[in-house]
């Protein structure tokens, strides 16, 4: 067994002190504290640009804020959002956003007569969507309870999903999923 003498310890003490100071400065951000609070500015760090959205035809002057932009700045402490981020559809921006809004309005207008008649069959929904010019292989519809139908339309680069029930007709457009599963919701995570 090797013994460390006093002189060897005294020579190593400055190195140990420096390592202790370096380690103490790391990891000082607390849960619920935004990055940079009470610390040095990070203005020099490059951040990706935020896509600029403009009003689309038939829309009010200011685009409605997206769910992602209204999310709280403080990350959840249980990592649920981080672990399930692959299930959050990609938002559309710019011209694609306008195309998506127009396609969603067109679908809602085509499906509204079915809702008013109480025709909640996947076959009728599918027929109405293919009647808009979407290929039969790109349209899925399924029963959603006794009085509702859900649908998914792959109209690359758009994905259109929604449904009809006794209360409303709804269609939304998005740009796929971050894990590359196209318009189909991903089944699993990490």
Distance in angstroms (rounded) separating the CA atoms of residues 120 and 126: 11
- Token pair in block for residue 43: 């203005």
Tens of pLDDT along the chain (190 residues) come to: 555 555 565 565 565 555 554 555 545 455 555 555 554 444 444 446 667 777 888 776 654 544 444 455 555 566 776 766 777 888 999 999 999 999 999 999 999 999 999 999 999 999 999 999 999 999 999 999 888 999 999 998 999 999 999 999 999 999 998 877 689 888 765 5
Q: Is residue 147 part of a domain?
A: yes
Residues 6 or more apart whose Cβ sits within 8 Å of residue 162: 104, 107, 108, 150, 151, 169, 170, 171, 172
| Half-sphere exposure in the Cβ direction for 147 (13 Å, CA) | 8
Q: Is residue 116 part of a domain?
A: yes
**Residue 168's domain spans which residues?**
85-174
Q: Is residue 92 part of a domain?
A: yes
Q: State residue 18's pLDDT score.
A: 55
Report how far Cα 154 is from the mean position of its chain's Cα atoms: 18
Count of the separate structural domains present in the chain: 1
Distance in angstroms (rounded) separating the CA atoms of residues 55 and 41: 34
Q: Is residue 52 part of a domain?
A: no
C-alpha triplet 140, 170, 104: angle, nearest 5°:
75
Query: What is the 8-class DSSP label of residue 64?
Result: P
Q: Which residues of 89-128 are buried (b: 16+ CB within 10 A; e: fewer)?
A: bebbbeebbbbbbbbbeebbebbeebbeeeebeeebbbeb
Q: Is residue 8 part of a domain?
A: no
Q: Is residue 168 part of a domain?
A: yes
Nearest to 63 by CA among 52, 55, 74: 55
Q: Which residues of 16-51 are buried (b: 16+ CB within 10 A; e: fewer)?
A: eeeeeeeeeeeeeeeeeeeeeeeeeeeeeeeeeeee
Q: Is residue 78 part of a domain?
A: no
Q: Is residue 121 part of a domain?
A: yes
Return phi, psi of residue 95, to 5°: -60, -40
């Amino acid at each position: 067994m090797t013994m460390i003498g006093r002189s060897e310890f005294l020579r190593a003490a400055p190195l140990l002190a420096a390592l202790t100071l370096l380690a103490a400065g790391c990891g000082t951000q607390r849960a619920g504290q935004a990055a940079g609070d009470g610390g040095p500015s990070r203005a020099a760090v490059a951040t990706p640009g935020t896509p600029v959205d403009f009003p689309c035809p038939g829309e009010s002057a200011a685009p409605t804020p997206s769910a992602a932009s209204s999310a709280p700045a403080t990350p959840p402490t249980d990592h649920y959002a981080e672990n399930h981020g692959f299930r959050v559809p990609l938002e559309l921006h710019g011209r694609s956003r306008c195309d998506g809004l127009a396609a969603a309005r067109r679908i809602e207008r085509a499906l509204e007569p079915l809702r008013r008649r109480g025709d909640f069959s996947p076959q009728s929904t599918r027929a109405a969507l293919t009647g808009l010019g979407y290929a039969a292989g790109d349209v899925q519809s399924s029963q959603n309870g006794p009085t509702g139908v859900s649908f998914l339309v792959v109209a690359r680069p758009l994905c259109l999903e929604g449904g009809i029930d006794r209360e409303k007709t709804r269609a939304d457009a998005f740009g796929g999923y971050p894990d590359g599963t196209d318009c189909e919701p991903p089944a699993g995570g990490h």
